[in-house]
Structure 1
Amino acid sequence: MAVTSPAAEAKDVVAITDVKYTSEDPENTTVSVTDSKGAEVKGTLDKDAKVWKPEKALDYGTKYTVTVNGTAAAGKGGSTSSTFTTMAKPSKTIRVTSFLGDAQKVGVAMPLIIKFSKSIPEKYRAEVERRMPVTATPAQEGTWGWISPTEVHYRPKVYWKANSKVFYKVQLAGVPLGGDYYGKSDLTVDLNIGRSFVMTVSNKTKQMTVKQDGKVIKTIPVSLGKSTTPSSSGTMVVMEKLKHTVFDTTDTDPKNGYKTPIDFAQRITWSGQFIHAAPWSEGKQGRTNVSHGCVNVSEAMGAWLFDRTMMGDPITVSGTEEKLKDGNGWTDWSLSYDQFKKKSYL
């Protein structure tokens, strides 16, 4: 038996290195890795592949000892050891952040959102995905998809199951990410999915149907975007909630812009489409479209919705003149699951 990687007395070894070894009797072989003080490092041993993987990145600039032990059965016993030293702490690191945090509760369409402080080169993205496991309880199929070189989302095949739990971790500390850059740290997030609250809007009927846990609980008249400023057709997600705000478009459109106080606003696109109360269009709601692209509801229904929605709740609009543009909001659900999977590098 022998340690084959890292090589004996190797220097500048990456901190997230795997230890590989040979053995004629792998089932009865054990592997331990200890630091310079003799403390054992936590890791997992794959006896079939003959690989030991550290639970997290090793300390930088530290000498480690690998010991491989076999049993005495069939004359295949014995012990061998090898040492290696990890690289110095890198000066170039990429920070990773999660949009969501521990114990947060979100709607059934909420994507998991991870951002990087620097672009991840394409050749490293598959390895990044491998180091971002997601565990849902109960189990649910899903995939990561790259939104840009600095942002990756995860969505399940269908909406998250109501009241489920989701745990994910990003294990990039010490991982090479190209151009002398390395992952700066690891993170974990443990969050909760809320009840199912799904809004569906038909331009044909000018009505919003609201379902909670699969049952229709309300039908609400709406006014969508007029033909010159149509609402987007597609599945969007509540990204932000503002009980009172001011819509001000005078900076971008000095001639035709407007500045209007708005109640119960819920953002669904980056381009400025919201679900919101619009008392000035109450006579039109359910009959004709007069908005600048938003989903107008009455003041009373705006308050009713606002009290019940949460970030991550989906709204699907159909039958308008314009299709939702990919990337105009959290548009992960505007693609089929097979289409979204194509954004993964695995």
Structure 2
Amino acid sequence: MLVMAAIPLVLAGCTGNPLERVGRKAPPPPKLAITPAQDSRNLPTSVEIGTAVTGGKVADVVVTDPKGTRVDGAMRADGTSWMPSKALANKQTYTAQVTAKNDAGKAVTQKTTFSTMDKPAKRTVTNLNLQSDQTYGVALPVTVAFDSAIPKDARAGIQRRLLVSTDPPQPGVWAWDETGKQVSYRAPDFWRPGTTVTVRAALDGVPMGGDSFGDTDRAGTAKIGNRVFLEIDNATKQMSVFKDDVLVKKIPVSMGKSSTPTSSGKMVIMEKHESTVFDTTGSPDPYVVTVANAQRLTWGGEFIHAAPWSVGDQGYANVSHGCTNVSDENAEWLMNTTRIGDLVTIKGTEVTLDQGNGWTAWNVSWDQFVKGSALPVPADLKPASPAPGGPANAPGGPANGGPPAAEKPSASPTPSSSSGGR
């Protein structure tokens, strides 16, 4: 009984803050600052709840709409802000309550109330090239295209709203092309076969420069297939097809004649059509022709396609308007072998590929590619050394030897037709 009675006395002596028993003061509550400021008005519907914490970390964020309904969302991985899972509604008032805690359990909470802007009069149309439930080639760059050029001062804000995750992890970087109408994401090397790629372009309500805002959120989850590469050599007029790094077929080709040459460079198959119409009405050399088994390589109208009219020249001479001609049999075999996202490398022609004329993320070195990022490049993805002087394939164009305007009827990252050179 004496021993049992003593126990509560010992336990009572152990209560209180352990730091105070050894002469150390307990840490103060964390310091917390949040945005937007109280009573902010006319904010974009893409607004995020900014959080800056010293001496702790964010423990909870609760955002509610005018009816008191909780808004879904999550903290960014870097802890800088809370991002809603979809754009907020226009012309509504929201309340955000943020709680931060430290290791000692001390907490601080702040609230802010803000209102979103009315529906914008102008929207920028966006396009995401990755669609759910599809299988793509290992060279697929994830691209977001815009129907008008994005000013440089708006690109960082847009880039922060482009989210990519991969399984297994293969981190990459977003980079803008020179036109400002397309931003592409790739890793330093091609995707591993079997990778799952999930993308969210959370652009609804995001400022796009001037008085325009993003049109909608877009998302997709897709798989990466096996390795298929096409190499076309103008010197031999032959296409070599590699499947999982093994040469499986050689195909004779005819490419662009000297007045309408095919571009040399690293391209990616963007579209596949069992049948399509090439219409160059209005060009110096107009024609309308239906072609079978056509695979688009550039926005400017370069395709690989069946061309029974040039079979006698395939393997010997270039007679096309810029496309790569193959026989009916070989075109059908290619359609059954390739995927959107497969790499096509063309070499030895009179002109080089314009950056941005297609999915051209692989047409430059990694060092050069990351220079197009509007945000700081993560340390583990920065080039190991300064970039060597210039891109692997210098841009070309009509002014310096590129394909003439007749071969580029639709030089836009947002395709509107299948116009091409035959």
- Please, what TM-score do these two structures have when normalized by structure 1? 0.82
The answer to whether structure 1 residue 214 and structure 2 residue 220 are counterparts is: no
Once the two structures are superposed, what CA deviation does each residue of 1:72-102 show, in whole Å capped at 9, x if it has no partner? 96xx857655342323434345454323322
Relative to structure 1, the CA distance from residue 71 to residue 295 in structure 2 (aligned partners, 3 Å threshold; closer, same or farther) is: closer
Tell whether the 8 Å contact from 2:202 to 2:218 is kept in structure 1 after alignment: yes
CA contact (8 A) 2:306 2:328 kept: yes
- Name the residue aligned to 1:311: 340
Matched, 1:281 2:293: no
Q: Which amino acid aligns with 1:241?
A: K
Question: CA 1:136 to 1:251, structure 2 compared with 1: closer, same or farther past 3 Å?
Answer: same
User: Are 2:160 and 1:136 equivalent residues in the alignment?
Assistant: no
Q: What residue in structure 1 maps to residue 4 of structure 2?
A: none
Structure 2 distance, partners of 1:47, 1:314, is: 32
- Matched with 1:320 is 349
> Whole-Å Cα distance in 2 between the matches of residues 7 and 331 of structure 1?
38
SS in 2 for 1:342: helix
Aligned counterpart, 1:238: 269
Note if contact 1:26-1:47 (Cα within 8 Å) is conserved in structure 2. Answer: no
More strand per residue? 1
**Which residue in the other structure is 1:264 paired with?**
293
How far, CA to CA, are the matches of 2:205 and 2:70 in structure 1?
A: 19
Match of 1:55 in 2: 84
Tell me by how many angstroms 1:132 deviates.
Answer: 0.8
Provide structure 2 residue ranges, at least 5 long, that are not aligned to the other structure.
1-28, 376-422
Distance 2:353 2:75 in 1: 47
Structure-1 residue corresponding to 2:137: 107
Q: Once the 2 structures are TM-superposed, how far is the Cα of residue 297 of structure 1 from its aligned partner?
A: 1.8
Asked if structure 1 preserves the Cα contact closer than 8 Å seen for 2:142 and 2:186, the reply is: yes
Deviations 1:302-328 (A, max 9, x none): 221122222222211111222222233
Q: Is the 1:114–1:151 contact (alpha carbons within 8 Å) kept by the matching residues of 2? A: yes
CA distance 1:287–1:12, shift in 2 (3 Å):
same
Corresponding position of 2:420? none
Which residue identity lines up with residue 338 of structure 1 in the other structure?
Answer: D
Gaps of 5+ in 1: none
One-letter amino acid of the structure 2 residue matched with residue 266 of structure 1? Q
Residue 10 in 1 paired to residue 73 in 2? no
| Residue identity opposite 2:234 in structure 1 | N
Is the contact between residue 119 and residue 149 of structure 1 (CA under 8 Å) also seen in structure 2?
Answer: yes
Moved more, 198-207 or 30-39: 30-39
Task: Tell me what 1:123 maps to.
Answer: 153
Cα 1:134–1:285, aligned 2, differ >3 Å: closer, same or farther? Answer: same
**Alpha-carbon shift at residue 42 of structure 1 (Å):** 4.5
What is the Cα deviation at residue 43 of structure 1?
4.7
Q: Is the 8 A contact 1:6 1:13 kept in 2?
A: no
Would the aligned equivalents of 1:209 and 1:218 in 2 still touch at CA under 8 Å? yes
Q: How does 1:29-40 map to 2 (within 5 A)?
A: 30-35=59-64, 36-40=66-70
* Corresponding position of 1:91: 120
Deviation of 1:125 (Å)? 0.9
Distance in 1 (alpha carbons) for counterparts of 2:107 and 2:150: 44
Q: Distance in 1 between matches of 2:358 and 2:214?
A: 27
Is it true that 1:159 corresponds to 2:190 in the alignment? yes
Q: Which AA in structure 2 matches 1:303?
A: E
* Farther off after superposition, 63-72 or 196-205: 63-72
In structure 1, what is the Cα distance between the partners aligned to 2:351 and 2:102?
70
Amino acid corresponding to residue 298 of structure 2 in structure 1: T
Identify which range, 109-118 or 37-46, moves more after superposition: 37-46
Cα distance in 2, alignment partners of residues 77 and 259 from structure 1: 74
Per-residue deviation at 1:184?
4.8
Aligned residues of 1:26 and 1:48 also touching (Cα < 8 A): no
Q: Equivalents in 2 of 1:19, 1:250: separation in Å? A: 53
Identity %: 38
* Alignment partner, residue 364 of structure 2: 335
TM-score (norm 2): 0.69
Say whether the 8 Å CA contact 1:8–1:82 is kept in structure 2: no
Deviates more, 1:300-309 or 1:266-275: 266-275
Larger Rg belongs to: 2
> What's the RMSD between the two structures over aligned residues?
3.4
In structure 2, what is the Cα distance between the partners aligned to 1:83 and 1:233? 56
How far apart, in 2, do the equivalents of 1:186 and 1:251 lie?
Answer: 37
